[in-house]
Amino acid sequence: MPGISLRRARTIIRKTMDKGREMGLKPLSVVVVDAGGHVIAFERSDGAPAGRFDIALGKARGCVLMGMTGTQLRDRAEQQAYFVGAAGAALGDKLVPVPGGILVKDAKGRLLGAIGVTGDTSENDLEAGAAGIDAVGLVAEG
Amino acid sequence: MPGISLRRARTIIRKTMDKGREMGLKPLSVVVVDAGGHVIAFERSDGAPAGRFDIALGKARGCVLMGMTGTQLRDRAEQQAYFVGAAGAALGDKLVPVPGGILVKDAKGRLLGAIGVTGDTSENDLEAGAAGIDAVGLVAEG
Amino acid sequence: MPGISLRRARTIIRKTMDKGREMGLKPLSVVVVDAGGHVIAFERSDGAPAGRFDIALGKARGCVLMGMTGTQLRDRAEQQAYFVGAAGAALGDKLVPVPGGILVKDAKGRLLGAIGVTGDTSENDLEAGAAGIDAVGLVAEG
Amino acid sequence: MPGISLRRARTIIRKTMDKGREMGLKPLSVVVVDAGGHVIAFERSDGAPAGRFDIALGKARGCVLMGMTGTQLRDRAEQQAYFVGAAGAALGDKLVPVPGGILVKDAKGRLLGAIGVTGDTSENDLEAGAAGIDAVGLVAEG
């Protein structure tokens, strides 16, 4: 089964953090999950608040379990907050519906997993994370 | 090691309650947590309702785990209720996004923990708590 | 309704900690709850691990909600672990069945609340906590 | 500020995995948490089962929140399974009481955090993790 190797997950995280520094963002935290929403790798930058793992995981896990990008989840939440809230509860309270949750696909469009980026504005989180996914030759859908 | 000692936590609580009495507020309850959101000290004034601990903790824990003040969390919740609700759930359902959750920093800007004050209006809770933090020479961000 | 005032709760905590130091115990943490299991006051000594609040609360809350001392709960758990485990789950996962959970009664035998002491061996936690309750003229059942 | 920097956390994880390969162990997964039990970094080796994050976190988080090593928690669980089960539930159901949960201290004995290693036998997990902590000049208590 295609998937994201640990080596690639590490590179996605580093390149996302590099991009964040280049953009002048606040300290980022980044999680990479597989197609089942299970954690492959996570790093929290020095100086980031303690609770970053759960927010990052909520972004990534929500995406991959719902098959929607963070942006799509945010748009749906704007229209039907009760639906996204209930879906999050049904999925174990780990669905944070904002940009920065990014689907990871291969060149053939197969879903490999997702990443969750948090630390700055949702839009900046997304831009940094997309650069990280690009850097390993995979396709970001955010 | 930087952090809030029990001695200082006690003083923050007493001075917050003193300020509340001086302002003529309803009986206050005050929690002090460390930078990981773990309780150092808590006191509930006589006459306050039974459930005050969880509200106070939700204010303080939400602040420190998200790295945002209660006022910032309230503003974000006004704009994106679904985001703050989802973040709270992801963090274990202990995030109460209103003023009275106050970050505690040292003079160099390092995050030491947070306090949560509850009992009167959110704005009055904040004013009393900020006075408590000032009284021990630390910096309140509410 | 009779109850434990905040002033008395503070004194119980201080006297418990004083007794712990006198006995040469590791840093103690102490919670005082009312007859409904709701927190009145808590203090964690400097140097104690981060998770002490939940253990202390589990000792105190288990006692008062079950109407049994920590020692009685421990004895019951030795005989019927499945019962105490199930009761704890039914009560919201906050029941830690060992000595150091101590019922607090007045001279007429009325249940006012309970305390939870944690930090050293369960038996030492109990001895220190009983001294704290004695110091305010109330009756400890541990 | 004392604590485990992300740079050091990464090195602990790599050196633990290197040691595991040198010992011929099954693919390891390693988490590093701060003194409040919050995740700094995590990596799951290719070929490890999907659920490794939660097991690793349970080992590390249980240690640091209880102030006990994985070995000490295992010994206590052998004697009083009901106590360790209840404590784990009180702490949010993330406490896995076996070796491989290792406290991380500095040379002065200050608690900085913990790591959780999982993948092979508990004793082998411990040996590999202790080597990772040694590699960054910190003190492992497992």
| Per-residue pLDDT tens over the stretch D81-126 | 999 999 999 998 889 999 999 999 999 999 999 999 999 999 999 9
The domains of chain C are located at 6-141
Question: Residue A134 belongs to what H/E stretch?
Answer: helix A122-134
What is the per-residue pLDDT across D30-61, written as a single tens digit (0 to 9) for each? 999 999 999 999 999 999 999 999 999 999 99
**Confidence category of residue B32, pLDDT binned at 50, 70, 90:** very high
Contact D90/C54, CB-based, under 8 Å? yes
Contact D34/A50, CB-based, under 8 Å? yes
- DSSP letter at B127? H
- The arithmetic mean of pLDDT across residues C43-55, rounded, is 96
What average pLDDT does the structure give for chain D?
96
**Confidence category of residue D17, pLDDT binned at 50, 70, 90:** very high
Evaluate if residue C55 carries a pLDDT over 50. Answer: yes
Please, do chains C and A touch (3+ CB pairs < 8 Å)?
Answer: no
What average pLDDT does the structure give for chain A?
96
Q: Which residues of A touch D5 (CB under 8 A)?
A: 46
Q: How far apart are CA D37 and CA B136, in angstroms?
A: 27
Residues of B with CB under 8 A from a CB of C: 5-6, 9-10, 34, 36, 38-46, 50-53
Burial class of residue A57 (count of CB atoms within 10 Å of its CB; 0-12, 13-18, 19+): buried
* CA–CA min distance D86, chain C (Å): 5
* CA–CA min distance D66, chain C (Å): 6
Q: For position A103, what pLDDT does the model report?
A: 98
- The arithmetic mean of pLDDT across residues A37-43, rounded, is 98
What is the per-residue pLDDT across C93-123, written as a single tens digit (0 to 9) for each? 889 999 999 999 999 999 999 999 999 999 9
Q: For position C132, what pLDDT does the model report?
A: 98
Evaluate if residue A1 carries a pLDDT over 80. Answer: no
Q: Which of A39, A57, A118 to mutate to test the interface with D (most CBs of D within 10 A)?
A: A39
Contact C97/D91, CB-based, under 8 Å? no
Place of tokens 């309750």: C133
What's the distance, Cα to Cα, between the start and end of chain A in Å?
23
Tell me the percentage of chain A whose pLDDT exceeds 90.
95
Contact D83/C97, CB-based, under 8 Å? yes
Q: How far apart are CA D116 and CA A39, in angstroms?
A: 15
Amino acid code (one letter) for B111: L
Among B2, B37, B92, beta carbon nearest to D1:
B2
Q: What is the DSSP string of C77-126?
A: HHH-HHHHHHHHHHTTS----STTEEEEE-TT--EEEEEEEESS-HHHHH
Q: Which residues of A touch B66 (CB under 8 A)?
A: 49, 51, 55
What CATH number was assigned to the domain covering residues A6-141? 3.30.450.150
**Confidence category of residue D1, pLDDT binned at 50, 70, 90:** very low
Between the CA atoms of B84, B86, B88 and B90, what dihedral angle is there, to the nearest 10 degrees?
-150
